[in-house]
Amino acid sequence: MPINATHDASIKSWVESANDPATDFPIQNLAMCAFEVSHGGHSHEHIGVLIGDQVLDIGALLEANAFNRQEHEEVAYVLEMMRWDIVASVPGMMTKVREVLQWFLRSDTQMGQQLKRIRQKALIPQSEVKFVPAMAIGNYTDFYASVHHATNVGSMFRPDNPLLPNYKHVPIGYHGRSSSIVASGTEIKRPRGQQSPPEDQPGALPSFGPCKMLDYELEIGAFIAPGNRMGEPIAIKDARAHIAGLCLLNDWSARDIQKWEYQPLGPFLAKNFATTVSLGIVTLDALEPFRARGYERGEGDPTPLEYLRDEDDAKSGGFDIKLEVLLRSREMATRGLPPLRLSLGDFGSMFWSLGQLIAHHTSNGCPLQPGDLIGSGTISGREASSRGCLLELTWQGIGPDKKPLPRKPIQLPTGETRTFLSDGDEIIFRGWCEREGFRRIGFGECRGTIVAAE
């Protein structure tokens, strides 16, 4: 999609909070969301878009016949399905829906009295809404696309050879569990699992109990729009058309459980207990002004194989997204203290682009479906201050004796320290895009609070 009139920074909305320069959700964004609506003792889901500090309830618009059926018949018909994954499955439909909703929300749109009355009835404060994941997620795949994260973690276990030989040739990923994906704000119960025997106790057996090394992972999630038929790969040059939009994603990780179970087949129970996504999906249309060059490979890095190469993807397959992680302990919340920033990074540090991830995922003929979720993997930059998890942030490297140095705990303003997460800790992700000449847009927040294992 080219940059067009919908990206005009001068467009205002009759929703006043959407005109605040600091909002994540101006009229140029219109992030997709879904939420529960209760009627007569039962509940069902509606879809909507985030606008300022409100939700525009598309179900309410349809019930009020707000769309001109002759002019927008196709749009109204698809929206009546009340599922964003169905809307996204129709090629080009996301663009049409965004244009129609922006028209409805513009302050300069001429409307009759009936539509003006519908305006306020279709708005719900975000603070009063019970959100659910914006799409019905059938499948979830998590990748390992940050070379800085892979290098840091590899250094912990293989200091002389941090990156395995395949890393710069093939995007590494694993299949996750869609049933444990939850919306921002959902509490995360500390998982239980098997942990390895103590290294200083020869002959000891593994133990079972609550995770002691619970961590977060800062990621971007990409939702699939139209999918592909089984046996028909998606070419990298076409991958952009198969992405509906992006969200913030926290793939919670039980490091001690993972350490014991991951060999030889990789992550399992250490990852599939919970994954949190932000409330809205920022469409690719809204992100168009913030495209960026892909990762600049260094001298000596291998050229990607042909199915992972595309000139347009190299020039504009990335996104200029700033990413922030904050932590607030239970004690900080009790004292009314603001959350502490743990890291500030950006999505531009990813070695593999989203287009390459999709091309590789389908290269063997694997069919992706509308609503499938693709995780980028932990996003870490070159600087220590941009590392995307506690495993990296508290890492101090290898000492002269070739053994890991003691971890350096995070200091909290209450005097508490953290090496990994404690019960009551709340982790908050924030993401936003800024570029001169365009409205700032954001992803809102991706929040989760740890509660004790039962």
Closest CA to 292 of 350, 341, 248, 251: 350
CA 268 to chain centre: 20
Closest CA to 420 of 440, 448, 450: 450
Q: Which two tokens stand for residue 248?
A: 């913030």
Note the maximum CA span of the chain.
80
226: cis peptide before it, omega within 30°? no
Q: Are strands 417-418 and 410-411 parallel, antiparallel or unpaired?
A: antiparallel
Residue 47 has which token pair?
Answer: 């879809």
CA-CA distances (angstroms) from residue 230 to 68, 85, 239, 342, 364? 38, 19, 16, 42, 9
How many Å is the Cα radius of gyration of the chain? Answer: 23
Token digits of residue 310: 């595309």
Rounded to an integer, what distance in angstroms lies between the CA atom of residue 359 and that of residue 307?
A: 7
List beta partners, residue 276: 182, 250
Please tell me whether residue 430 adopts helix, strand or coil conformation.
strand
Whether 72 is catalytic is no
Element (H, E) at 70: helix 69-79
**405 vs 155: CA distance, rounded Å:** 12
Given 46, 72, 148, 149, which residue is catalytic? Answer: 149
| Closest among 375, 281, 291, 232 to 87, alpha carbons compared | 281
Q: Indicate the pairing of strand 131-132 with strand 31-39.
A: antiparallel
Please tell me whether residue 422 adopts helix, strand or coil conformation: coil
Alpha helices for 80-206 (secondary structure H): 84-89, 93-105, 113-121, 147-157
Select from 179, 84, 177 the least CA-distant residue to 135.
84
* Structure-token match 């991951």, residue found: 262
Host H or E run for residue 284:
helix 284-287
Place of tokens 């999918």: 227
Residues with a catalytic annotation lie at 149
